[in-house]
Structure 1
Amino acid sequence: MQLNIVPARTGLTWARQGIRTFWRQPLALSGLFFLFMAVVSVMSIVPLIGGALALVLLPALTLGMMAATEVAEDKRFPMPGLLFAALKSGPQRKAMLQLGAWYALAFLIIMGVSMVVDGGTFARVYLTGANMTPEVVNSASFQAAMWVSMVLYVPLAMMFWHAPALVHWQGVAPVKSLFFSFVACWRNLRAFMVYVAVWFGVFIGVALVSMLVASLLGDASLLMAILMPAGLMVAAMFFTSMVYSVRDCFQVSGDAHAHRAHDGV
């Protein structure tokens, strides 16, 4: 396995590849993303430990979306079971769950730091879906906790961006995968900045178009009815694009077909 350094414009290519592949199997990939969200939501409502369990599953489910993308890229229909490919019996399942445990621990530490800033209001809203009022959202302590959490989450995201693929497809140990992933993101920071900027622009564009449509229809109440499904579809495209960044940042042994064979698809 060898790290590749790619030019900044590659970030745009990753986004375009994700969008193109999504539209090869839009219903299947949208359905898989909704299933992804449903699993996380259901796990989150389990008393006491639900939120932590949902966090543990996130790397494995992200790998499932990558596996589904590779199937859709070949113009084949990704079955729902692909979402759980990393949790099937095999030598990498334990490592993937260990990776998930590290993610849950790190995320909860970030939430703990935010609690020091605002007394736990932001953490309660984020983890339990507690009601927000304009007064709470606009308070200085809530804003500070939100920004502290966002800043701390960036290196966490960098560590876990490539890690699920490295663990599942390349057999890299969980701790090593975090190091390799962080280095890959850092060395290709310009490409990832372009990538994030492109998706930010896409989300903003979808929001503006939704507002325009609701305005033209003369019914402001339609805004959320249009914005929510459109936003979820764009989020599904975003997850579809992730595997392309992994491919370009690492020169690995075996190609996409080997990966799919490993997952039994």
Structure 2
Amino acid sequence: MEKLPARAGWHWIKQGWMLFRKQPGGMMALLFVCMFASFFIMLLPALGQILWCVLMPMFSIALLQGCAEIDQGRRAMPQFLLAGFRSPMRKHLLGVGALNLALMLLAMLAIYGISGDAIKTLGEAQSKGVIKPEDVEGLFSGMLTGSLIYMLGWMLTSMAAPLIFWQKMALNKALFFSVVAVLRAIKPFVSAVVILHLIYFVGVQIVILVLGVSQLGVAGIFTLFLISLVMVHCMLYTAYAQLFGPPQVEIPSQP
């Protein structure tokens, strides 16, 4: 597994975009199916949000499987939502989800540990109906630290779910190879994440400039957000294909 230059991250994004362009409707339909499933899961009382965090790898696998199908000349179908649930490796995928939940909790602890007083002050200001600029100043350091913790954890484990699903690796082995692969390709991973964030930020500014803060503008920003979610998975697929080789996708038998 050779070390890759930072520009490889840009190549992953370009290849991911070319993949998305082949079947934008299919990938967006698959994303909407995942979003609807997530919405109903989060409606469950008490455990909804926890269950959603644990099931996140299942939704990622659905989108990655769609990318693999497109890459091999087939169609991305909404039923790929069930691919992770039907896999014999689903317990290991749920283990990745449990790790994702732990990362979120760790990030939240960092936010409250650093900016707890600022959060309390902001809550009091909201109850009074008057929020001053100084009420939110203390949030920045906590939010930045929490975001960095989660982003670093997500990046290091981003290859674990596809390794489990496509190469049938156990959880511990998949996490090991994911961390090693990402660390050896840390420059392209960081550059890809930064470029995707910049593209989204610039896109949002253009939408606001053209449409303003209107209902149409909000709809445009939300559309950009959805496309960004798909592009993250298209980029992850192209990164996986370069680091570990294209996955062998089984062709479903025709009835």
Q: Is this a same-fold pair by TM over 0.5? A: yes
Provide the residue aligned with 2:62 in structure 1: 64
Q: Residues 208-235 of structure 1, C-alpha deviation per residue, up to 9 Å, x if partnerless?
A: 33123216xxx85532132222332233
SS at match of 2:169: coil
Deviation at 1:81, TM superposition (A): 1.3
**Structure 1 segments unaligned to the other structure (5+ residues):** 123-131
Q: Supply the AA of the counterpart residue of 2:218.
A: M
2:78 aligned to 80, 84, 97, which one? 80
Work out which structure has the larger RCO, using CA pairs closer than 8 Å and 6 or more positions apart in sequence: 1
Provide the residue aligned with 1:53 in structure 2: 51
Tell me whether 1:19 sits opposite 2:14 in the alignment.
no
Deviation at 1:199, TM superposition (A): 1.0
Tell me whether 1:250 sits opposite 2:244 in the alignment.
yes
Q: Supply the AA of the counterpart residue of 2:31.
A: F
Q: Residues 126-162 of structure 1, C-alpha deviation per residue, up to 9 Å, x if partnerless?
A: xxxxxx9855895244222211211211331123210
1:34 aligned to 11, 32, 35, which one? 32
Q: How does 1:1-265 map to 2 (within 5 A)?
A: 3-88=1-86, 90-119=87-116, 135=132, 139-214=136-211, 220-251=214-245, 255-256=246-247, 258=248, 260-261=249-250
Provide the residue aligned with 1:128 in structure 2: none
Deviation at 1:120, TM superposition (A): 9.1
Distance 1:87 1:64 in 2: 10
Q: What TM-score does the superposition give when structure 1 sets the normalisation length?
A: 0.81
Q: Supply the AA of the counterpart residue of 1:73.
A: D
Distance 2:144 2:130 in 1: 18
Q: Would the aligned equivalents of 1:6 and 1:249 in 2 still touch at CA under 8 Å?
A: no
Q: Would the aligned equivalents of 2:103 and 2:153 in 1 still touch at CA under 8 Å?
A: yes
**Structure 2 segments unaligned to the other structure (5+ residues):** 120-128
Q: What TM-score does the superposition give when structure 2 sets the normalisation length?
A: 0.84
Q: Residues 10-43 of structure 1, C-alpha deviation per residue, up to 9 Å, x if partnerless?
A: 1111101111111111111011112222322322
Q: Would the aligned equivalents of 1:163 and 1:178 in 2 still touch at CA under 8 Å?
A: yes
Number of aligned residue pairs: give it.
246
* Cα gap change, 1:134 to 1:196, in 2 (>3 Å): farther
* Cα gap change, 1:22 to 1:264, in 2 (>3 Å): farther
